[in-house]
C-alpha cells in the first residue's frame, strides 16, 4: 500500500489508498489529487475535492465530489440519507455501472459551481437512482447519460428527472418515473440556458401528473429540446405527455415512436411538435395567448384534436384524423390527408388560411343532413380533394349539402371518390361550386345510379339468364337421343357461358357461368311414337363483374324433369322441361370512397319450356331441323339490404322467351361403326317480358329484359357404341342489351 502524503484516519490528502472488506467504517475526505480505492468495503460519507474515488462493490452513505473530481462506481450501493443527494457532483465527472443510489432527497445530482460555465457529467449504465424528492437532477452546463437504468422519484409529489438548463439522455430501456411528473424541465436562476432531453428506446412516466413538464417560471430562455426516438414512450396519469407552462418553450421531436397522450400549452408558452415516422394519439391544445405548432412528416399519423394550433403542416405520406371540432391558424398540406373521424360523428374544422394540396376525408349522414365541414375563414389556395364517405342511405331531402366554405382565394376542390361521385343510397352525386366561388356542396340535381343500385339490379336481372344458361345442356341432347332412344340411360353435361350485359343505369356488367347437369331417362311403352321420361339435377355458379370493384355471385341448385316425344317416321318431336331452382345471391359493392359493402339473399325460381320441331332427312345423311321453343320462368321476389343501409325490394321477376330456328347437319358412318353428326344451328329469339320492378330505398327502377336476339351454334354428336354417346357444342348470341360471346357444353351418355 502506498503511503499518503498525509493520512489521518478517514482523511486522504494526496496519494492513494485502498480499503477492503473489514476495514474500519468511517467518513472519508479526499483532497489534493488523492485517490481512494474501495474494494468491497463499507464507508460512511465520502467527500472528494480535486480527487478520484474508485469503488468496486461495497457500500457508502453518500458521495459528494467537487473541483474536477472523478467518481467511478461499479456494483456499489450508495445510501444518501438526508443529504441533498445520494451522489452529488460539482464541476466533476462520474461513471456509474451496476450500482444503486438512494436518498431521502435526490438520488443523483450533477451541478456546476455558481458563476462557472462548466458543469458535471455523469454516465450511468445498468444502475438505479431513487430519491424521495426526485431520481436525478442536472443544473446548467451539466449532462446526465443513462443506459438501461431506472431513475425514480418515490414521493407522491416527486419528479423522476429534473433539468435546470442541463441535458440528459436515456437509452436502452431506461425508465424515468416520477411520483407526480416524470421529467421536469426548468431554468436555473440567472442562467438563460434551455434544456435538452433525449430518449432513445426509453420511457418517461408521471404517476400523478404529466410525463414531461416544461416550466420557465415566467423567465425567458431558449426552447428546451426533447427528442423522443426509436420506440420511446411517454405516459402521464392525467393524460398529458407534454405540459408547457409559465412562459415555457419546448421543441419536441418524435421519431419512430408511437405516443399516446395530450400536449397542453398554457397561455404564455410555446411548443413545437414535429413527428417523423411516428404516431400521436392525443390532442394538441393551446390556451389563448399560447402558441403550438404541429408538423407531420415521412408517414407520421396523428389522431386527436388540434385546438388553437397556430400552424399545422402535413406532408404527402402523413395524415391527421380528427376526433372532435378543431381550430388551426395556418394549415399547410404538402400532399397530406385530414380525416374527419368516425362515420357516426361529425366535426367542424376551422382554419384561418389553407395552402398547398391535400385530401380531406369527410363523413356525412345523409338521412339527417349532418356532415363534417371544412370552414376556411380566410384565404384558401391550392388544389385539394374531398373523399366523402359513401352510404346506402338516400339524402333526407333534395337540398344541396354544403361541405366546404372559404373566405376567398383561388383554391379548388374536387372529389377523390372513384368516378368523381359520392355514392348515397340509390344514386351517386357530384360536387358543385357555388356562384360566389367560396362554397362547395353535393349537387342533388346531377346524379347517376349508384354501384349499390346497379349491383342490386344485376342480381335480380341475372336469375333468368342463369336459368336459360342451365337449359342449354338439355337442349343440346336431341342429337344423341336419336341414336338409341329405345334404351334407358344416364348422362352428364358440363357447360360454361360468358355474357356482356348493358343496362340503362351504368356501364353494365359481365357474367361468367359454369356448371354441370346430371340426368337419367327411360323410354315409356305408350303412344304411337317414342316417349322418353327423365329427371335431372345440377348446379351452376355465375360471377358478375360490375366494374370499380363491385361484383356478385349467384349459386344455383336445381332439379327437374323432362318428357320427350319423337316419331321416327315423320321426324316430328316435342321436348318439354320443368325445372325448379334455388338461388343463393351475394353482392359485394365497391363504393366510391374505397370501402366495401355486401348483402345476400336466397330465392326460388320455377320455369319450363316446350320445343316443337321436325327432323327432315335429306340425301347422303343430311338433315334439316326447323324448330320453335317457348320458355317461361318466374323468379321469387325478395326484400333485402346491404350493410351500408341500402334497402332493396324486388318484385317477382318474369321471363317469357320465344325462339324460332333451324338446325342443319349430317349423319356420317365411320369405318369403325361409330356415327358422327356435325351440325350448325341458327335461331331468332325474342324476350317479351318488360316490367320487372325493383325498388331501391323506395326509388323505383324497371328491370326491362325485353328485346330480340340472334343465336348461332355449332356442335357434334358422336355415337361411339350401342352404350356410349358423346356431344359437344359452342354457341354465340347477340341482341338488345346482351351478348354471349362464347358458350359451350360437353357431355357423355351411357345406355344400359
DSSP 427-465: EEEEEEE-TTSSEEEEEEEEEEE-HHHHHHHHHHHHHHH
Rounded-to-integer distance, Cα 284 and Cα 216, Å = 20
Which range is least confidently modeled, 69-73, 228-232, 295-299, 548-552? 548-552
In the chain, what percentage of residues exceed pLDDT 70?
A: 95
Q: What is the pLDDT of residues 324-373, one digit of tens each?
A: 999 999 999 999 999 998 777 899 999 999 999 999 999 887 778 789 99
Rounded-to-integer distance, Cα 117 and Cα 188, Å = 13
pLDDT band at 444 (very low <50, low <70, confident <90, very high): confident
Q: Mark 431-462 as b/e (b = at least 16 C-beta within 10 Å).
A: beeeeeebbbbbebeebbbbbbbbbbbbbbbb
pLDDT band at 698 (very low <50, low <70, confident <90, very high): confident
Q: What are phi and psi for residue 36, nearest 5 degrees?
A: -115, 125
pLDDT band at 410 (very low <50, low <70, confident <90, very high): very high
Which range is least confidently modeled, 51-65, 398-412, 701-715? 701-715
pLDDT band at 479 (very low <50, low <70, confident <90, very high): low
Q: What is the pLDDT of residues 171-180, one digit of tens each?
A: 999 999 999 9
- Residue 104: its pLDDT value, please? 97
Q: 1 pLDDT exceeds 50?
A: no
CB atoms within 10 A of CB 725: 27
Which triple of cell numbers denotes residue 348? 367542424
DSSP assignment string, 267-288: TT-EEEEEEES-EEES-EEE-T
Long-range Cβ contacts of 55-58 (<8 Å, 24+ apart)? 58/21
Beta carbons of 439 and 459 less than 8 angstroms apart: no
Q: 458 pLDDT exceeds 90?
A: no
Rounded-to-integer distance, Cα 515 and Cα 542, Å = 9
Helices (H) and strands (E) in the chain, counts: 2, 70
pLDDT band at 418 (very low <50, low <70, confident <90, very high): confident
Task: Identify the helix (H) or strand (E) that includes residue 591.
Answer: none
pLDDT band at 190 (very low <50, low <70, confident <90, very high): confident
pTM as predicted: 0.81
- Residue 481: its pLDDT value, please? 64
Rounded-to-integer distance, Cα 391 and Cα 387, Å = 13
- Residue 525: its pLDDT value, please? 80
- Mean pLDDT of the region 180-202: 95
- Residue 451: its pLDDT value, please? 86
Rounded-to-integer distance, Cα 482 and Cα 264, Å = 90
Rounded-to-integer distance, Cα 469 and Cα 472, Å = 6
Rounded-to-integer distance, Cα 49 and Cα 89, Å = 10
Q: Length of the chain, please?
A: 752
Nearest of 614, 707, 595 to residue 656 by alpha carbon: 707
- Residue 119: its pLDDT value, please? 95
Which range is least confidently modeled, 232-236, 397-401, 664-668? 397-401
How far apart, in Å, are the Cα atoms of 310 and each of 165, 288, 313, 327, 349? 27, 11, 10, 9, 14
Average pLDDT, the chain: 91
Q: What is the pLDDT of residues 123-154, one digit of tens each?
A: 999 999 999 999 999 999 999 999 999 999 99
Rounded-to-integer distance, Cα 700 and Cα 361, Å = 31
- Residue 6: its pLDDT value, please? 37
In the chain, what percentage of residues exceed pLDDT 90?
A: 68
- Residue 349: its pLDDT value, please? 98
Beta carbons of 251 and 272 less than 8 angstroms apart: yes
pLDDT band at 5 (very low <50, low <70, confident <90, very high): very low
Nearest of 155, 147, 51, 52 to residue 102 by alpha carbon: 155
Q: What is the pLDDT of residues 559-597, one digit of tens each?
A: 999 998 888 888 898 889 999 999 999 999 988 888 889
Q: 443 pLDDT exceeds 90?
A: no
Rounded-to-integer distance, Cα 628 and Cα 643, Å = 45
β-bridge pairing 412-415 and 383-388: parallel
Task: Identify the helix (H) or strand (E) that includes residue 587.
Answer: strand 572-590
Instruction: Report the side by side order of strands in the sheet with 175-178.
Output: 59-60, 77-79, 100-103, 128-131, 150-153, 175-178, 203-206, 233-236
- Mean pLDDT of the region 489-507: 84
- Residue 721: its pLDDT value, please? 82
Amino acid at each position: 500500500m502506498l503511503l499518503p502524503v498525509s493520512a489521518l484516519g478517514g482523511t486522504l490528502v494526496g496519494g492513494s489508498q485502498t480499503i477492503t472488506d473489514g476495514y474500519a467504517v468511517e467518513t472519508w475526505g479526499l483532497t489534493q489529487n488523492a485517490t481512494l480505492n474501495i474494494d468491497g468495503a463499507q464507508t460512511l460519507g465520502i467527500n472528494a475535492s480535486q480527487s478520484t474515488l474508485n469503488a468496486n462493490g461495497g457500500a457508502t452513505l453518500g458521495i459528494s465530489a467537487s473541483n474536477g473530481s472523478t467518481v467511478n462506481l461499479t456494483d456499489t450501493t450508495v445510501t444518501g440519507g438526508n443529504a441533498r443527494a445520494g451522489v452529488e457532483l460539482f464541476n466533476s465527472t462520474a461513471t456509474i455501472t451496476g450500482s444503486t443510489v438512494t436518498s431521502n432527497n435526490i438520488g443523483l445530482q450533477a451541478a456546476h459551481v455558481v458563476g462557472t460555465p462548466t458543469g458535471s457529467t455523469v454516465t450511468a449504465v445498468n444502475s438505479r437512482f431513487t430519491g424521495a424528492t426526485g431520481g436525478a437532477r442536472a443544473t446548467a452546463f451539466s449532462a446526465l447519460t443513462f443506459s438501461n437504468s431506472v431513475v425514480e422519484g418515490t414521493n407522491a409529489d416527486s419528479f423522476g428527472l429534473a433539468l435546470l438548463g442541463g441535458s440528459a439522455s436515456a437509452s436502452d430501456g431506461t425508465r424515468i418515473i416520477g411520483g407526480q411528473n416524470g421529467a421536469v424541465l426548468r431554468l436555473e436562476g440567472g442562467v438563460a440556458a434551455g434544456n435538452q432531453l433525449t430518449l432513445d428506446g426509453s420511457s418517461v412516466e408521471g404517476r400523478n401528473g404529466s410525463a414531461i413538464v416544461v416550466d420557465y417560471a415566467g423567465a425567458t430562455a431558449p426552447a428546451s429540446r426533447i427528442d423522443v426516438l426509436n420506440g420511446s414512450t411517454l405516459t402521464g396519469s392525467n393524460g398529458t405527455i407534454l405540459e408547457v407552462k409559465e412562459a415555457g418553450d419546448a421543441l419536441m421531436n418524435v421519431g419512430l415512436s408511437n405516443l399516446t397522450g395530450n400536449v397542453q400549452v398554457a397561455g404564455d408558452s410555446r411548443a413545437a411538435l414535429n413527428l417523423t415516422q411516428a404516431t400521436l394519439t392525443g390532442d394538441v391544445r393551446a390556451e389563448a395567448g399560447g402558441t403550438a405548432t404541429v408538423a407531420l412528416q415521412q408517414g407520421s399519423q396523428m389522431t386527436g384534436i388540434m385546438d388553437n394550433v397556430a400552424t399545422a403542416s402535413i406532408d404527402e405520406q402523413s395524415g391527421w384524423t380528427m376526433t372532435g371540432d378543431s381550430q388551426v391558424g395556418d394549415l399547410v398540406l404538402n400532399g397530406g390527408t385530414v380525416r374527419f373521424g368516425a362515420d357516426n360523428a361529425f366535426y367542424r374544422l376551422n382554419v384561418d388560411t389553407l395552402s398547398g394540396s391535400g385530401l380531406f376525408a369527410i363523413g356525412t349522414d345523409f338521412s339527417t343532413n349532418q356532415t363534417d365541414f371544412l370552414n376556411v375563414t380566410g384565404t384558401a389556395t391550392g388544389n385539394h380533394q374531398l373523399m366523402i364517405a359513401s352510404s346506402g342511405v338516400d339524402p333526407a331531402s333534395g337540398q344541396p349539402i354544403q361541405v366546404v366554405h372559404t373566405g376567398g382565394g383561388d383554391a379548388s376542390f374536387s372529389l377523390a371518390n372513384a368516378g368523381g361521385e359520392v355514392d348515397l343510397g340509390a344514386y351517386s352525386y357530384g360536387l358543385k361550386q357555388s356562384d360566389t366561388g367560396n362554397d362547395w356542396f353535393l349537387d342533388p340535381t346531377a346524379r347517376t345510379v349508384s354501384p349499390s343500385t346497379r349491383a342490386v339490379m344485376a342480381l335480380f336481372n341475372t336469375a333468368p339468364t342463369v336459368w336459360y344458361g342451365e337449359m342449354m345442356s338439355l337442349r343440346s341432347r336431341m342429337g344423341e337421343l336419336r341414336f338409341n332412344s329405345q334404351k334407358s340411360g344416364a348422362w352428364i353435361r358440363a357447360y360454361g357461358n360468358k355474357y356482356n350485359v348493358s343496362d340503362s343505369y351504368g356501364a353494365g356488367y359481365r357474367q361468367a357461368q359454369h356448371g354441370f347437369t346430371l340426368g337419367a331417362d327411360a323410354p315409356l311403352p305408350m303412344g304411337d311414337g317414342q316417349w322418353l321420361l327423365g329427371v335431372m339435377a345440377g348446379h351452376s355458379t355465375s360471377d358478375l363483374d360490375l366494374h370499380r370493384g363491385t361484383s356478385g355471385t349467384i349459386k344455383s341448385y336445381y332439379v327437374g324433369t323432362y318428357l320427350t316425344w319423337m316419331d321416327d317416321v315423320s321426324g316430328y318431336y316435342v321436348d318439354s322441361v320443368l325445372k325448379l331452382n334455388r338461388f343463393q345471391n351475394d353482392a359485394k359493392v365497391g363504393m366510391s370512397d374505397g370501402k366495401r359493402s355486401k348483402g345476400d339473399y336466397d330465392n326460388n325460381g320455377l320455369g319450363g319450356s316446350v320445343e316443337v320441331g321436325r327432323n327432315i332427312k335429306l340425301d347422303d345423311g343430311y338433315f334439316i331441323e326447323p324448330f320453335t321453343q317457348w320458355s317461361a320462368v318466374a323468379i321469387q321476389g325478395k326484400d333485402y339490404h346491404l350493410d351500408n343501409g341500402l334497402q332493396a325490394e324486388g318484385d317477382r321477376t318474369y321471363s317469357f322467351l320465344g325462339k324460332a330456328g333451324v338446325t342443319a347437319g349430317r349423319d356420317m358412318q365411320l369405318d369403325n361403326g361409330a356415327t358422327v353428326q356435325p351440325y350448325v344451328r341458327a335461331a331468332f329469339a325474342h324476350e317479351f317480358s318488360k316490367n320487372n320492378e325493383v325498388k331501391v330505398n323506395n326509388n323505383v327502377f324497371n328491370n326491362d329484359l325485353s328485346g330480340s336476339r340472334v343465336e348461332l351454334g355449332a356442335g357434334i354428336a358422336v355415337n361411339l357404341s350401342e352404350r356410349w354417346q358423346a356431344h359437344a357444342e359452342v354457341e354465340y348470341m347477340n341482341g338488345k342489351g346482351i351478348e354471349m360471346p362464347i358458350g359451350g357444353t360437353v357431355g357423355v351418355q351411357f345406355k344400359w
